[in-house]
Chain A
């Protein structure tokens, strides 16, 4: 089939800029050997294919216009229930990403020294053979711990593919730079407290806001107040989240935005609280104190459906069980009854006959003579010092504005709620912020009520909603689940047990193990994401560590600094327009349909499958078993020999989980998708007051909440048990966490505030006059994490990162708008470009992560990640402490200084015309690597 020419000018125009393209051609852009076309039709007709985006993790419905095998246009899908036709800049840039000259087109092997950017093209067969040979050699020598896999959370639809591979491999470590620094603390901790769901708008569980206008009006209570705490829907899942928040706000929903940065949502909020980065928990403790002090909490809900009246052991800090005091059973708790003025067992559920009326506050003497406080009393005393004035001082806010914000929130309750965004996940108080957020909504009874943010509409398969999952994730006895001894040996897991929820390891501990060989030395790194050197805190540490490994393999769509600077092999990965997947969108199930296939790119699920196949060939028994349907089982599917097999698994998964159909394959899914799997009325109703629904196992009792006590647990003593055993109900088998900060034998049942380790507050131990400014970061509407720096239309909009500086601070430093800058922390320095703006507070500096694809082919490719990368300044080093539960290192709220620079970083592109070289390039439709390699 001849090369298909596209009528769109962007493609034709290429010839006009051929000179520019040739001039920048080098190791990363040449090697355009042609392979046999397999997929392109040349009928000239335009097909409109309904699919779903993956420019971020929101999966907005898109319509791809495909002509002669080429995607010629994208637009939002008007029929999608969440984005309703909207499409953001990132999604629309999908064509420029797909046909980008910087695509990794074929498997490549490093020729020169690591980082020399000299490559040779190899076949898929050779790549799999050579990589698996090294893996097999180290596996036989040192066991599964020799392997580290990683991915990126934001964009990868196959988030759990690396962990799935490790389950088959039999051990080793998995990490991603989000995780403890993005979403895991909220995803895990909020669920632990409210027994319902986390509050992340970007990640999917906050579906209530999409119901107005979709659910019939007479069945719908729109959210009255929405508190967006470090949440910027205009800048993340824009077509869905930005659109829906705009809609509700314009229909009268009140909003409070807590964000150091004046985002569009902050600008339109009823109250904007520009909080000092890293102090969110201080403000939360103040809100909790205010709610208690002003007696605003939901009386019936807290009494009947939380553990706040439970009496707590002063030494262990665990809630008493009735059996400990001879008052009742092991599964009953203890309260102080007002009527009898005595400790009594609290059965489940709360007696509806009024036989027990528990005291909510107070200290009481138990039958055994011990004194005990109620959980609520402990909470009250714990937060008492956090007055409006104290929080205002710590958080650099106005006390009256804080009060106004609390009142707006309280007025909307219970048809209201708080979403917590990524910001607090990037501070040392990550777990505590998630606790604080959950506590506020519990106190106000904003749980499972119409219009509330916390709703019980779980994905059928937690955590998150990924089709491809690690073997045995939900089945402890699955033969291909990672053995417990190996799982417990994951690096940093003993200290930071919250990581277990995502099967993850602790990044600083992984790097330390590579640096020191203690407790063992990982040898091989297989990484599937864009640009770890820009996304990981204290990036130089990652670079230094990964330069010492035995083998680095990078799987990605585009050449990045990971591939050029660190990889030994690079494996071409498919763009979202080339892949097949499935995703629920409210009450519908949507489908990602492959629209084309370029070069030898392959969906990542096949990379791992083919590696497993190559290891099976060498005798790795678990890899052999992973292809055996009798062992792998239908739930997880086997590993796949072809992409068709994989697609059929996706069809089966969706059919069996959502439509009660066991006979689906891809064809059957494709024939009807997207479609409703339940009505919107059913979808809405399944959450409201669902704790009152009959329990599945014992219909005589209400279902309650998904917690140990079946109540909401704002006093989260399960945190102590998690730290001691690895399970929140105390049934885990792990060693206790001891080496945590602040020094403690336990994780804390209540959120506590830690001043940022590097503090701008004079007199604080973390204060250093050499670093007077507080750096924060945050999303831009045209990039998702490290992506799209090489798509012309997005990069034109934002060619280099802006350094936001308040005019007062700019005057103090002596810089003007447009000045090039040096930003420096204790860990490193990098450049910025000044934008003087009242969008940030005095002393607070904002800049987003950045890298320069145009420098990959320069003399020093490392400058691509060093020139303007604030992650050279952030933490991830042994001298800076980590969050206790999750091991979070600090990305927001680090101290820096700023100086004027002489010039821009050499060689970066700043003019729009320069990016013309990255306009879509003629490419072959080959059927991808699937067409040229079958394991």
Chain B
């Protein structure tokens, strides 16, 4: 798949101000049912000795894994990687509602659509991005913290934003062999990245709670 684009979202947590605009923008744009979220903002609880504590807000959505477990486990091919854009998507017409993919996803970012009895997830607003617009969460973000584009294109918004930061400030959600490509920027002066210790952070975002019926 080397020729395939690597489109994803990059979130700059130095700039994320925990306002939840991206959650609501996503839900409005995609008409997501109550109780379901394709994009969720989690606060990493303040750590340290008061008042010397650090906290940050972590928006989590599909991480566009290179070896996407949701695609591997799907028995019908409903979960697939789009050849042109490289995006991990769901073809709802093929989804039989077995929800294996929801269990396979390490980040709990797939949602069950009760009405249609299919699995859904962040499409990076494919209906907008295919028309040259940015995803709703990126457009409306109040911290200008969210970026969309192709990691392989040095002129994309994601590449340009990542290029501004040293390696120590660039992070990924814990990789259990799935190869998440969505990246997070968090500078040490703002807070220590809490994602490396999988056990410590499991309860914070490595969960499917709230997503499985």
Contacts and interface: CB of A to CB of B under 8 A. Distances in A.
A838 B48 contact: yes
Contact of B51 (A792, A793, A841): A841
Contacts of B20: 89, 781-782, 797
A129 B112 CA distance: 54
Interface string A793-809: 11011000000001000
Interface in B101-151: 115, 136, 139-145
B15 A250 contact: yes
A86 B56 CA distance: 20
Contact of B17 (A93, A234, A401, A792): A234
A74 interface: yes
Contacts of A92: 21, 24-25, 28, 140
Contacts of B27: 793
A247 interface: yes
A911 interface: yes
Nearest to A247: B144
Interface string A763-792: 000000000000000000110000000001
Interface in A218-245: 233-235, 238-239, 242-243
Nearest to A84: B144
A578 interface: no
B57 A264 contact: yes
Interface-central residue, A239, A792, A838, A916, by most chain B CB under 10 Å: A838
Nearest to B22: A89
A86 B141 contact: yes
A180 B20 CA distance: 31
B191 interface: yes
Contacts of A730: none
B34 A838 contact: no
Interface string A1-18: 000000011100100100
Contacts of B55: 262, 267, 839
Contacts of B33: 13, 916
A87 B25 contact: yes
B34 A912 contact: yes
A85 interface: yes
A913 B34 contact: yes
A91 to B, nearest CB: 8
A262 B34 contact: no
Nearest to A270: B189
B175 interface: no
A441 to B, nearest CB: 25
A233 B17 CA distance: 9
B46 interface: yes
A265 interface: yes
B211 to A, nearest CB: 12
A341 to B, nearest CB: 51
B53 A838 contact: yes
Given A267-B54, A838-B45, A916-B34, A74 B15 contact: no
Interface-central residue, A13, A793, A796, A837, by most chain B CB under 10 Å: A793
A609 to B, nearest CB: 35
Contacts of A242: 17, 19, 142-143
Contacts of A93: 24
Interface string B28-39: 110101110000
Contacts of B142: 86-88, 234, 238-239, 242-243, 246
Contact of B31 (A13, A86, A401): A13
A76 B136 CA distance: 10
B198 to A, nearest CB: 22
Interface residues of A, number: 57
Given A86-B141, A911-B35, A268 B14 contact: yes
B18 interface: yes
B144 A912 contact: no
B19 A238 contact: yes
A122 to B, nearest CB: 35
Nearest to B49: A838
A264 B144 contact: no
B38 to A, nearest CB: 13
Interface in A61-90: 73-76, 78, 85-89
Interface-central residue, A73, A92, A842, by most chain B CB under 10 Å: A92
Given A234-B18, A262-B55, A243 B139 contact: no
Interface-central residue, B24, B29, B48, B145, by most chain A CB under 10 Å: B24
Interface string A805-830: 01000000000000000000000000
A85 B145 CA distance: 13
A915 B35 CA distance: 9
A76 B115 contact: no
Contact of B34 (A250, A265, A267, A796): A796
B28 A74 contact: yes
Interface in A860-875: none
B163 interface: no
Interface string B155-194: 0000000000000000000000000000000000011000
Contact of B53 (A9, A89, A262, A911): A262
A272 interface: yes
Given A85-B139, A839-B46, A274 B51 contact: yes
A253 B28 CA distance: 34
Nearest to A60: B142
Contacts of B47: 838
A563 to B, nearest CB: 25
A95 interface: yes
A8 B46 contact: no
A242 B53 CA distance: 21
A272 B35 contact: no
A403 B157 CA distance: 40
Contacts of A794: 24
A264 B18 contact: yes
B18 A73 contact: no
Nearest to B57: A264
Interface in A680-705: none
A806 B23 contact: no
Contact of A75 (B23, B51, B139): B139
B19 A16 contact: no
Nearest to A808: B50
Contacts of A268: 14, 17, 190
Contacts of B139: 75-76, 78, 85
Contact of B23 (A13, A95, A797): A797
B140 A85 contact: yes
A264 B46 contact: no
Given A13-B115, A73-B29, A792-B34, A267 B191 contact: yes
Given A92-B25, A264-B18, A913 B35 contact: yes
Nearest to B138: A85
Nearest to A93: B24
A298 B212 CA distance: 62
Contacts of B45: 837-838
Contacts of A793: 23-24, 27-28
Nearest to B18: A264
A88 B25 CA distance: 8
B28 A73 contact: yes
Given A92-B21, A234-B143, A264-B18, 7 more contacts: A74-B28, A88-B142, A89-B19, A401-B51, A913-B35, A914-B34, A915-B34
Interface of A: 8-10, 13, 16, 73-76, 78, 85-89, 92-93, 95, 233-235, 238-239, 242-243, 246-247, 250, 262, 264-265, 267-268, 272, 274, 398, 401, 781-782, 792-794, 796-797, 806, 837-839, 841-842, 911-916, 919
Closest 10 CB pairs of A and B: A234-B17, A9-B31, A912-B35, A89-B24, A912-B34, A838-B46, A781-B19, A264-B17, A87-B140, A86-B142
24 contacts: A75-B25, A75-B136, A86-B142, A89-B20, A92-B140, A238-B142, A239-B142, A242-B19, A246-B17, A246-B143, A250-B14, A264-B16, A264-B18, A264-B57, A267-B54, A267-B56, A398-B51, A401-B51, A782-B20, A838-B50, A838-B53, A911-B35, A913-B34, A916-B33
